[in-house]
Structure 1
Amino acid sequence: MKKILNSYLITLFCFLLLSACSKDDETVVVLNGEDPVVTVENVTPLVGYVGAEFTITGTEFGMMKDAVEIRVGDNPVEVVSCEDNSIVAKIVEGTTSGKVSVDVFGQTVNTDFVFDVLGQPGITGISSVYGFSGDEIVFTGHDLGISKSAYKVLFTGTEESAEFVGNTENEKFTVKVPENAQSGKINVEISGIQVNVPLTNGFTVLKHATVSGLVAGEGYPGGVISVKGSELKPALLEDVEVQPMKVLLVQGDKTISAEVDGTQTTNELVVAKLPEDIQPGDYVVTVSTSFEEVATDAPLAFKVKEKPVVTSLSANSAHNGDELIFNCEHIDGVTAENVEVLFGETKAEVISVAGNQITVKVPSQLEAGNCTITLKINGADIALGSSAEFTVLPTPKITAVDVQKFLHNETMALVKTEDELVITGENFGTEPTDVTVQIGGKAATVSSITDSEIKFKVPQEFSEGRISVTFADIDVPIEYTGMNFKSLSPNDDISKYVLKNYKAPFIPDGDDMQKSGEWMKPLNWIVENGATDVMAGFALQLNPRGDKTAGKVLALQTEWGFPAKKTNGKVYQKVALVPGRYRLSGAVTQTVISGVAYLAVGKDGDFAVTTNAIGSTALASIEVPVSVAENVTETVEVEFEVTEAKDYSIGFVATLNAEKKYVKFQSFTLTYLGEE
């Protein structure tokens, strides 16, 4: 079926499954889930007395009479029968003439078919579905010739009946739109009977338009003229055709029409296109909305200027980011805001308009290849001739700088004088003299160059900054924004470049809290605390409790929710180090130790350190004092050397042989000491 019965059972019972067996005895399940679309094609007859029946034909009505509602105007009528393409309805007492609407399972179709109910007052037409306050609106129909005193005509926003013009007649009456009326429904009551008005959405009360001036007082043939104001393009409640808006330019006895652009025109702005053949000169502009000619306090003067001419372009090919100059005539008074330049469909930045030149920047996002340039000044297309065909040259692109052999985090790499950095990318060329590399604004020596790789050495004067590369035939340097660089010197604190979440207040990993809000998991740290229940992985102690921004210490502890004893409990993180000497410091804030604890450096990234073999399992270590009083801080530190660039690990390890013992750190510091 397209039968609505099946389709609506989907709505009622969520889905309809039809099963069948294939020749291979496999079950095939078909899910029919398309929503039907109700349409109304005809209503007949369109006139009758109370009790008369009429037929609505269309599609997807279904066969469930109780799911259908038919209205004539605002009056519900009786549904006699329902089939998928036909509904029979009956006019009931109290119904007056009105538009027929159909509702099937909440899907409403408002039609323009008007059923005329005979034998009582009925309105079948209205002279206009919009008007200004004071306009006369004529209602037509039948059985209307009753005394005006029996009428009540209320526009939305009014409490008093509208003023009548003349007497009511059997087939019409006329009222004025009240001064305080608002857009919306019109309610008509005659001798106590509510009479439908054939409006689907309502009557639009217009406000008189105003014009406050021109956006620009001059323009070019083929360009735009824009008029500012209010109530220039009001929205109508009913969908009807209206007169087109007009923008006229008058010069003596000559009147020229500018074509209004409906897509850009709004209630506050009319945008129109000047004819290509309009002659330069002075004009007076008049504006007509779809409803009235708009009066102005003073004439709107507009000057049509001689159209600009492009005599040449500075180049017919360039790289992304290069500047391109249009050499022009007749651009006096033009500003950058009046100019639009497109490379294909990509808008270019207009840098300046000075003298007879317009300077733009070739968009950085263009792909290499040919494209067409479009130039508009004040909305007018300016002919470019053969100069419109432009070639975007392959532009060098930096994709990465290799920092794996340097100390670094996600945004900063630490480098030393004479370190070699490698830039990778494309379209670099192969000639070293065509390339200048700077780091932090200091010129660097290029060691080698290929089309996809540039190697250079960090200069002695370098302090901090980004890498940029200038190519001989490209105006603007290309900057690598993926990483900043900083000079590395002996005794530099490198903690924030190498460690993560390394000092109080420590950042928690997630929102899980345990022990009445005292403990959380620390972000970026691996915790092996011997717990097998909800406390596994918890090492961040909050003070005060419940405040996840108050992670004062990282701790290993026995009891108070943790195991009564702990062997080789660990809190550590992986770090990437390069050859050199380092010092690891830890600020111990409180300890009560029965056993032993160490601040240690692991030989690799998994911190395979044990307290019973600390000398052979750790790259370096220092024992933590067994007793540090609360609110006292003691610093422990250890120096070490690494000989290859790879992942190591730093943290603390503890074996606690009794309950209610602990070791707590509030910060860690990693210092680069230099090379031998």
Structure 2
Amino acid sequence: MEAEWVGEPTNEAVTVKVPATLSAGTYQIAVSTSFETIEKTLDYTVLPMPEVTGLSVAAGYINAEVIISGKNFGDKAEDIQVKFGETACEAVTLNKDGHIVVNVPKGIPTGENAITLTVLGMTIDMSGHGTFEVWETPEITGVETPYVYPYGTLVKAGEEITFIGHGFGTNKDAVTVTFDGVTAPVEVNSVTSIAIAVNVPAGFTGGKVTMLFAGIDEPVLSDELAPLPADGDISRYALQNYKQPFDYVREGGKNGDGFSKGGEWAKAVGWTLENSKLQDREGGCAVDLAFSNKGDTNGGTGLALQTDWGFDNPKNNGKIYQKTTLQRGRYRLTAHVYEYGNGKRFTGYIAVCAGDKMLDTDDVPAQSLAHASITATGDVVTEFSINEKVEVVIGFVATIVDKQGRAKINEFKLEMIE
């Protein structure tokens, strides 16, 4: 029987399609051209066509086990792919009867999803069993707590928190909630289809929350939660790159490695810099991170604003700051100034300002949410209250008139004190 060509033959290879009318068995393949018949033949085994006879279940939750029954699926699960919609199942196995076993993959939509079965690259007819109805599966999409910050969600033992999501049902007895590291499940205070409220148990030291729903095998997990620090220090959750060794941008600079002025300066990751850059003869780069050890790839020593030593003089409204979001509460901001010089005509502040921009030096005293003057080395501290969730910037600003004026900060610390 002559096979159908696929594409154009070459001197090295020809591609053909196995005739659909062949029965299962072993055949010899012979190749001939208009000039000759190739003497050597090849053996080729045609496998019996896979057939689907049914599904163990045609509807269920995400992660439900589904058995595709039938025959001639082969004995190598790795040759088989099953998709629900456009999403492939992570694992495919064959049971002792040779049937295909999969779990409904995550991420597919609720409702009817087409099932696609592929064996050895060939799409197999599902014989009327090609759809699966996905029921709404519980999912946690967020957590309501007084301590949600850009880089972490904090909880406090004994306080009620609410998990937001969908598909939770309304029966408290149908859900079990446990916190990592705490053996006993917590009591469910209330449950609606979109919210579950519980109290944070004593002994929770961080991790995820696991929910088990009656009739659903797959556990539902929250994102990582962390306990509110006993000392109130929330710097790591509200700020990024906030203390030495500061991370720096590893591109740009004279040699493309991020360093400027012989490795003395770089640009700090996560901080916005305004009105401060090296003079053109020093490369003209906007830099805000000073290195005590030139070119130290472990990180910079401090955030810095200065005049002279490669920078223009005077410096008007030099600013280094980053954006964050604060929740209601009372806070203390501390900046440690490790180097300060020539302060005769130096006006500088650490500041917290509403919005996404640091205020100019002259505007900070009257318009900022909080500020403190930079007048010497040591800790500069300011306390302030936030009445509702607000987007702010935190950092420092300085106007320096005299030569060799400078302020260098090697740590910002933000504490919740009430």
- Helix, strand or coil for the counterpart of 2:133? strand
Measured at CA, do residues 344 and 290 of structure 1 come closer, stay the same or move farther in structure 2, by a change above 3 Å? farther
Task: Indicate conservation of the 8 Å contact 1:286/1:294, yes or no.
Answer: no
- Helix, strand or coil for the counterpart of 1:496? helix
Matching residue of 1:670: 413
Task: Give 2:288's aligned amino acid.
Answer: L
Is 1:495–2:239 an aligned residue pair? no
Task: Indicate conservation of the 8 Å contact 1:372/1:389, yes or no.
Answer: yes
Measured at CA, do residues 405 and 597 of structure 1 come closer, stay the same or move farther in structure 2, by a change above 3 Å? farther
Within-5 A mapping of 1:465-484: 465-466=207-208, 469-479=211-221, 484=224
Is 1:540–2:283 an aligned residue pair? no
Measured at CA, do residues 263 and 477 of structure 1 come closer, stay the same or move farther in structure 2, by a change above 3 Å? farther
Unaligned runs of 5+ in 1: 1-256, 626-633
Task: Give 2:80's aligned amino acid.
Answer: V
Q: Give the C-alpha shift of residue 526 in structure 1.
A: 5.3
Identity of aligned residues (%): 26
Report the Cα distance in structure 2 between the residues aligned to 1:596 and 1:397, rounded to whole angstroms.
55
Matching residue of 1:262: 6
- Helix, strand or coil for the counterpart of 2:78? helix
Matching residue of 2:326: 577
Task: Give 1:319's aligned amino acid.
Answer: Y
Task: Give 1:584's aligned amino acid.
Answer: T
Report the Cα distance in structure 1 between the residues aligned to 2:118 and 2:286, rounded to whole angstroms.
65
- Helix, strand or coil for the counterpart of 1:413? strand
Aligned partner of 1:602 among 352, 363, 378? 352
Is 1:640–2:390 an aligned residue pair? no
How many residues are matched?
Answer: 397
Task: Indicate conservation of the 8 Å contact 1:403/1:421, yes or no.
Answer: yes
Greater RCO, CA 8 A, separation 6+: 2
Report the Cα distance in structure 1 between the residues aligned to 2:315 and 2:177, rounded to whole angstroms.
59
Within-5 A mapping of 1:599-638: 600-602=350-352, 604=354, 619=370, 621=372, 623-625=374-376, 635-638=378-381
- Helix, strand or coil for the counterpart of 1:465? coil
Q: Give the C-alpha shift of residue 416 in structure 1.
A: 2.4
Task: Indicate conservation of the 8 Å contact 1:510/1:521, yes or no.
Answer: no
Task: Indicate conservation of the 8 Å contact 1:321/1:363, yes or no.
Answer: yes
Report the Cα distance in structure 2 between the residues aligned to 1:334 and 1:294, rounded to whole angstroms.
34
Is 1:651–2:395 an aligned residue pair? yes
Aligned partner of 1:337 among 39, 63, 78? 78
Aligned partner of 1:556 among 294, 301, 305? 305
Measured at CA, do residues 265 and 309 of structure 1 come closer, stay the same or move farther in structure 2, by a change above 3 Å? farther
Report the Cα distance in structure 2 between the residues aligned to 1:388 and 1:619, rounded to whole angstroms.
63
Aligned partner of 2:27 among 267, 276, 285? 285
Q: Give the C-alpha shift of residue 379 in structure 1.
A: 6.7
Matching residue of 1:586: 336
Report the Cα distance in structure 1 between the residues aligned to 2:392 and 2:336, rounded to whole angstroms.
17
Task: Indicate conservation of the 8 Å contact 1:506/1:553, yes or no.
Answer: no
Question: After superposition, what is the alpha-carbon deviation per residue over 1:137-180, rounded to whole angstroms, capped at 9, x for unaligned?
Answer: xxxxxxxxxxxxxxxxxxxxxxxxxxxxxxxxxxxxxxxxxxxx
Matching residue of 2:152: 412
Q: Give the C-alpha shift of residue 324 in structure 1.
A: 0.4
TM-score (norm: length of structure 2): 0.70
Question: After superposition, what is the alpha-carbon deviation per residue over 1:587-619, rounded to whole angstroms, capped at 9, x for unaligned?
Answer: 413433225666644364566696999699774
Measured at CA, do residues 647 and 547 of structure 1 come closer, stay the same or move farther in structure 2, by a change above 3 Å? same
- Helix, strand or coil for the counterpart of 1:638? strand
Within-5 A mapping of 1:22-61: none
Is 1:324–2:73 an aligned residue pair? no
Matching residue of 2:40: 295
Measured at CA, do residues 615 and 284 of structure 1 come closer, stay the same or move farther in structure 2, by a change above 3 Å? closer
Matching residue of 2:110: 368
Within-5 A mapping of 1:121-160: none
Measured at CA, do residues 265 and 484 of structure 1 come closer, stay the same or move farther in structure 2, by a change above 3 Å? farther
Task: Indicate conservation of the 8 Å contact 1:573/1:651, yes or no.
Answer: yes
Q: Give the C-alpha shift of residue 353 in structure 1.
A: 0.8
Task: Indicate conservation of the 8 Å contact 1:609/1:618, yes or no.
Answer: no
Asked which structure has the greater CA Rg, the reply is 1
Q: Give the C-alpha shift of residue 284 in structure 1.
A: 4.2
Report the Cα distance in structure 2 between the residues aligned to 1:374 and 1:511, rounded to whole angstroms.
49
Report the Cα distance in structure 1 between the residues aligned to 2:324 and 2:359, rounded to whole angstroms.
14
Unaligned runs of 5+ in 2: none
Q: Give the C-alpha shift of residue 573 in structure 1.
A: 3.8
Report the Cα distance in structure 1 between the residues aligned to 2:207 and 2:274, rounded to whole angstroms.
40
Task: Indicate conservation of the 8 Å contact 2:78/2:92, yes or no.
Answer: no
Q: Give the C-alpha shift of residue 674 in structure 1.
A: 4.9
Question: After superposition, what is the alpha-carbon deviation per residue over 1:269-289, rounded to whole angstroms, capped at 9, x for unaligned?
Answer: 8665465672x6xx5421123
Task: Indicate conservation of the 8 Å contact 1:397/1:427, yes or no.
Answer: yes
Report the Cα distance in structure 1 between the residues aligned to 2:248 and 2:31, rounded to whole angstroms.
63
Question: After superposition, what is the alpha-carbon deviation per residue over 1:197-231, rounded to whole angstroms, capped at 9, x for unaligned?
Answer: xxxxxxxxxxxxxxxxxxxxxxxxxxxxxxxxxxx
Task: Indicate conservation of the 8 Å contact 2:63/2:105, yes or no.
Answer: yes
Matching residue of 1:351: 92
Report the Cα distance in structure 2 between the residues aligned to 1:584 and 1:673, rounded to whole angstroms.
12
- Helix, strand or coil for the counterpart of 1:295? coil
Report the Cα distance in structure 2 between the residues aligned to 1:335 and 1:609, rounded to whole angstroms.
69
Measured at CA, do residues 262 and 546 of structure 1 come closer, stay the same or move farther in structure 2, by a change above 3 Å? farther
Task: Give 1:392's aligned amino acid.
Answer: V
Task: Indicate conservation of the 8 Å contact 2:351/2:364, yes or no.
Answer: no
- Helix, strand or coil for the counterpart of 1:460? coil
Question: After superposition, what is the alpha-carbon deviation per residue over 1:420-466, rounded to whole angstroms, capped at 9, x for unaligned?
Answer: 44444444433333344555576555443333444444333433334
Report the Cα distance in structure 1 between the residues aligned to 2:207 and 2:16, rounded to whole angstroms.
49
Task: Indicate conservation of the 8 Å contact 1:312/1:326, yes or no.
Answer: yes
Q: Give the C-alpha shift of residue 636 in structure 1.
A: 1.4
Task: Indicate conservation of the 8 Å contact 1:559/1:660, yes or no.
Answer: yes
Is 1:391–2:133 an aligned residue pair? yes
Q: Give the C-alpha shift of residue 382 in structure 1.
A: 6.5
TM-score (norm: length of structure 1): 0.47
Measured at CA, do residues 499 and 293 of structure 1 come closer, stay the same or move farther in structure 2, by a change above 3 Å? same
Task: Indicate conservation of the 8 Å contact 2:348/2:399, yes or no.
Answer: no
Q: Give the C-alpha shift of residue 577 in structure 1.
A: 2.9
Measured at CA, do residues 461 and 276 of structure 1 come closer, stay the same or move farther in structure 2, by a change above 3 Å? farther
Matching residue of 1:98: none
Q: Give the C-alpha shift of residue 490 in structure 1.
A: 1.9
Q: Give the C-alpha shift of residue 315 in structure 1.
A: 0.7
Report the Cα distance in structure 2 between the residues aligned to 1:261 and 1:392, rounded to whole angstroms.
42
